[in-house]
Structure formats: structure tokens, C-alpha cells
Structure 1
Amino acid sequence: MLAPNEDSLTPTETVALVLNLVFAGHATTVNLIANGVAALLTHPDQLALLRDDPTLAPDAADELMRWCGPTPRALPRYATEDLDLGECPIRQGEAVLPVLAAADRDPRAHPDPDRLDITRARTRPGSPHVGFGHGAHRCVGDRLALQEAQIAWTALWDRFPEPTLAIAPQELVREAHPNSWKLTALPVHLHP
């Protein structure tokens, strides 16, 4: 993207891209990592699968992004033409607010959607999540975020093989923010 060519980024576009990657990508990845740790600690069967088969890490990262991703909704999109979405008419220029978390829990796309299953991609291929958006609006840092999450989780389990939540799962507190699903804290015991 930075290499000289006909469509090179302007200095303003370059700065905007770097800021977007650093700030948008950092906070959401931190929240994905924390959400994933909480999910795995409250689903010991899934954590055991991951510990027993580290090759499941990429599948686990995708499933955790679907199941407890940090971004519950996308930014507004605006209809370029009149259309009907189900029985709801949407007129040209009207805003539509995609709720990614709802799409990722749609049973038509994800059988048994409320169940965390880190083997989902292997056992039910063809139902990708939209936690990173889709098409032209897909996050440009998606692969980096998933890689960072896999490395963080693997390093945590390698260094501290038996962490546990220090509070009951229902006591975990999430910040009240419409564009972010994140924990205010993740108290854990690193040793039994």
C-alpha cells in the first residue's frame, strides 16, 4: 500500500491508515484476547481441546471472534437505493446499523449458535463469522488480530497452565459502550 505506484496513498491517507491500524486494531485485539480468555476459562471443555491440540488455535481464534468478538455492531451504512430488508423498507440515503453479534448468532448461518465450539470450522465449514465485517468493509487488520490473539492465548497457557477465574463468571463486568464489548477487568488466579 505504501509502495510508489499510480494509486499511492496521500500523506493524509497514510497517517489515517496508520492511526486506524494502531488504535482501532489495538483496542479491539486487546478486548478479543480478554474476551477469549474469559470464554475459555468458563468453557473448560473447549480449553481442554485447545490445550490437547494446539493446531486448533486458528479455529479457536475464529470461533472466539464469532462467539465473543469485541465489536458487537458495525458503523452505520447508508442505502444507495431503495430496498426491502425482510418486511422493512429502507429508502435511499437511510442509515442501516449492522449488528455483527446478531449475525454471528444467526442459527441459519451457525447451527447451535450460542454454543462455543472451537472445532466449528472443521466440523461445519462454510459458515464464516462477520466479526471483522465483510467485503469492502472487512477489517484490514483481521489476520494480524487473529495471529496476536493466538500468540497471546498460547503464551498464557504455556506459562500458566491452570489459570482460573478469581470470581464467578456472572460477576464479570462489561463496560457499557455501544461499539465495544469489553471487560472492565479480568480477575484470574494464575496458579491453582
Structure 2
Amino acid sequence: MTREENIIRMLSDLESVHMVSLPLLKAMEESANIRSIHRKVTLLSEGSIQHSLWYLVHGFAREYQNDPNDGNEATNWFWQSGDFVFHNHFVNGERSEVSIDFYSGSALLEIDLIALSENTKILEEFTLIKGALTDFNMSLRHEHLRDLSKLTRLQHVKKFYDSHQMLFNFVRHKDLASFFGIRDKSIYRYLKGL
């Protein structure tokens, strides 16, 4: 796909979350750059401030934290093609409490948050958009947490697999296990049942 086609797709996905004015659409288009990921890379580390909003054209990303007790990584979230990638406190410009990795083979649009924040004509609307994206993302996370408490692990893994099949081919099994709240070695038992 061309840059223009990717931007049209991104803007369409954004409008499914919140209406966007023409000046904001134009500003986002002007500040978006395509980036190809050739090797797994961390674009946001714990303690950093997020300066770009990422839109996954294709591929996958993972959010994780280092457990202060044992130093192991705990996977909190995954994103896939068509998702906007950000940490939960980016709306307020706060430092990230998580790290975000993008997997090899991913392509994304990087939207310069600083340039958009300096544009006074769209600043108020852009703040609303960031809030709408955060609310949408939080609703998906709450659904995941509800599933963790209400479904059996097998039901939860199957439900997630049904809507994210390709993800299971790209990520480490230990990251999936962490995401589902199970031991690393137990994930194989759940994956066999799919």
C-alpha cells in the first residue's frame, strides 16, 4: 500500500472511534511518517515520554513492565494491524510506566505528537481525540480483565485466539503466558487445544 492509502486507512480507523475535523485530518496526514520495523525494537521504554502516536499498518506490538520482585517481563497488552499504539498516560504527557516493543516485519505510521500539540487550531480537538482513543483502549483492556476473572483459561485463550490468530505465530509463548496470567510451560497445554 502507498503512504496515502495507509493514511486513509488510519484516518478511517480513527473516525470509527471519534469524529475528526478536516483541519485535524490534514494536520495528522502532514505529521505522519511511515516506518518499517526490520528487527524487534523497543520504541517506548519505562520512564520515557511518548513523542509519537503510532498506528500499526501491519504487524504487532507488545506492552510490558518489568516485575520489581523478580525482574521478569510481564506482558500487559498486545496490538495488531489497525490499532493505535500508546501508553495509558500519554494523554497528559506523563512518563510511561510500561515499555512498548514492535515486532519484526511491522509497518507503522508515526504521528508527531509535538507538532500536533503546537498547532493551536487543532489542539482542543486533538486533546479530545487522545481521550477518545484512551477510552476505547481502556474498554478493551477492561474486557480482557473481565475475561481473566470470568472465563476459564482455556476459554479465554480460545476467545483471544479466535480474534488474533496471526499474533500467536509472532510472539514468544512466554509473553502469551504472561498476558493470560499462566505459567510459561502451561501455555503449550492451552495452545494444543486450539
TM-score range normalised by the length of the shorter chain: under 0.3
TM-score scaled by length of structure 1: 0.27
Q: Which has the larger radius of gyration?
A: 1
TM-score scaled by length of structure 2: 0.27
- Name the structure with the higher strand share: 2
